[in-house]
Amino acid sequence: MKKWMNILWMSFLLFIIAPLTADAAQGNKNLTVDGNQVAVSVDIPEGKTGVVTSLRMQLKVSISSGTMNAPTFAFNSAVKSEIKDAAILSQEDGTYLVDLILSGKKDKDIFGDNTSLKLGTLTVNATSEEFKVKVAVAGDLDGSGNPAVKYMDANGITAMTASLPNAEDVLVDTQHKMFRETPKLKASVKNGSKSVSFSWEKIDGADGYEIYEVNGDKVTKVKDASASATTASANFGYATTHSFKIRAFMQKEDGSRAYGKYSNGVNIVVGPDKVKEFSPQYKDKSKTTLTWKKTSGASGYKIYRSAKKNGKYTQVKDIKKGQTTACTLNHPSGKTYYYKIKAYIKNPGQTVYGGLSTAKAGKTKAPQLKVSVSSKVVSLKWAKVPRSAGYKIYRSKTKSGKYKVVKTIKNASTVRYAETMPSGSKTWYYKICAFEKQKNKNINGNYSTVVKAKAK
């Protein structure tokens, strides 16, 4: 402690500090109880003319009933200061003095642009079932005998005090064991799911539990659970990273809640969504090209293949770039293969997968169909499709209606078809697909877009 104090007082000689003045209307309470923790803050008025680079505040922690170990103090991570020291000093009367010191460089304002500085959190470590602990601002007083913090004026010679008009003493007390126990939270998520499952051990005396997501200093409640519950679940977005904590609470007579200790943080990565618009199409007689839509957050994709739709799938490709949306694989003509794909997120020491897509068979490409009408004759034409054994032409009176095969062309080189405009309608819709011959069966490929033929 002496070493820190020496550094502080030497530093004060170099710092220019704006005077802190009392302004009760400006700030919140300097001490705020939440379960067995006390949030500590300091307010300054608006319109300060200089930077505040150093500050000293003392707290007295005393127990009136029960027993306790030494309290602990954690500075808020947002506090910007070269020196952050919290000395916990045991006193002869059984109390504890918590001496808080911040000290920084001449041009570094510990308040930044804010009028309130959240110093950190004091934790009361009671060791008995029943206890009452008082936390109060101690040390320096202003001219009226009110609590104050200490700073140095601009000349760096005389130690000054500034009143803390909102520094009311606070009481931490409970009869419940829950305030001495730290819950143990577990969290998991299955591959392909966005539902995170939570589990914990029951704490005696708890009226319920609250699960939180923690993002830096921001803590957001995501779930309430009853006193009897030891599990819960909640949905989150695909390809997202989270940190969770849990704490028990006791319901007070006035309807408010008194809280126990936070559990340790549990980190979870929710895997990516299923790959969408997955399509395996023949490129030529020996290869198949697989295409898909990019999956948000994916680090890569794994592709699997099987000779049977419901058979055993074997990984055939690991694509290690999330931006990739196509690949080409060997696939001999006449051979039936089914494909599946899933995205994954790669973290150090961890790979999290999305769900497998539905099985898609390799098929011939969709022909690029064009139509024209002349003298009541409908003419269709398209480009030759790789690995095609022929084509099937379909027709319907409505675009989304039932289509019937009007022609099966068994010559892969034939890329035209014409017919007289059928009776019964002035408008007809056509589509076409190529087919491949597999084991004496004609296997339809992907269908073209629908084209419209209207009588002139």
How confident is residue 178, by pLDDT bands cut at 50, 70 and 90?
A: low
Of 17-26, 47-56, 111-120, 262-271, which has the strongest mean pLDDT? Answer: 262-271
Tell me what pLDDT residue 13 has: 36
Helix ranges (H only) for 131-229 are none
The pLDDT of residue 8 is above 50: no
Torsion sign over Cα 136, 137, 141, 143 = negative
**What is the percent of the chain with per-residue pLDDT over 90, rounded to a whole number?**
60
| CA nearest neighbour of 199 among 246, 236, 261, 260 | 246
Tell me what pLDDT residue 187 has: 97
| CA nearest neighbour of 392 among 425, 414, 373 | 414
pLDDT digits (tens, 9 = 90+) for 416-448: 999 999 998 999 999 999 999 888 889 999 999
The pLDDT of residue 5 is above 70: no
The pLDDT of residue 42 is above 90: no
The pLDDT of residue 154 is above 70: no
Tell me what pLDDT residue 4 has: 44
Strand 96-103 to 54-65 pairing: antiparallel
- Side chain identity, residue 176: H
Separation CA 425–CA 418 (nearest Å): 17
pLDDT digits (tens, 9 = 90+) for 261-289: 899 999 999 999 999 999 999 999 999 99
Q: What is the arithmetic mean of pLDDT over 65-81?
A: 89
| CA nearest neighbour of 367 among 430, 310, 317, 316 | 430
How confident is residue 12, by pLDDT bands cut at 50, 70 and 90?
A: very low
Within 8 A by CB and 6+ apart from 48, the residues are: 18, 111
Tell me what pLDDT residue 176 has: 53
Q: What is the arithmetic mean of pLDDT over 48-63?
A: 80
How confident is residue 96, by pLDDT bands cut at 50, 70 and 90?
A: very high
Report the chain's mean pLDDT, rounded to a whole number. Answer: 86
User: Are the CB atoms for 211 and 222 separated by under 8 Å?
Assistant: yes
Separation CA 78–CA 76 (nearest Å): 5
CA angle 359–360–365, rounded 5-degree value: 175
> Residue 178, SS3?
helix
The pLDDT of residue 191 is above 60: yes
Strand partners, 37: 34, 123
Separation CA 131–CA 79 (nearest Å): 31
Tell me what pLDDT residue 174 has: 67
Which helix (H) or strand (E) element contains residue 3?
helix 2-12
| CA nearest neighbour of 74 among 4, 121, 136, 41 | 121
Separation CA 99–CA 300 (nearest Å): 52
Give Cα separations from 265 to 35, 227, 347, 389 (angstroms).
18, 21, 18, 61
Tell me what pLDDT residue 17 has: 35
Burial 407-419 (b: 16+ CB within 10 A, else e): eebeebeebebeb
* Cα 72 to the center of its chain, rounded Å: 30
The pLDDT of residue 10 is above 70: no
Residue with tokens 């899933």: 342
The pLDDT of residue 152 is above 60: no
Tell me what pLDDT residue 155 has: 47
Separation CA 59–CA 80 (nearest Å): 21
Residue with tokens 């914990």: 200
The pLDDT of residue 297 is above 80: yes
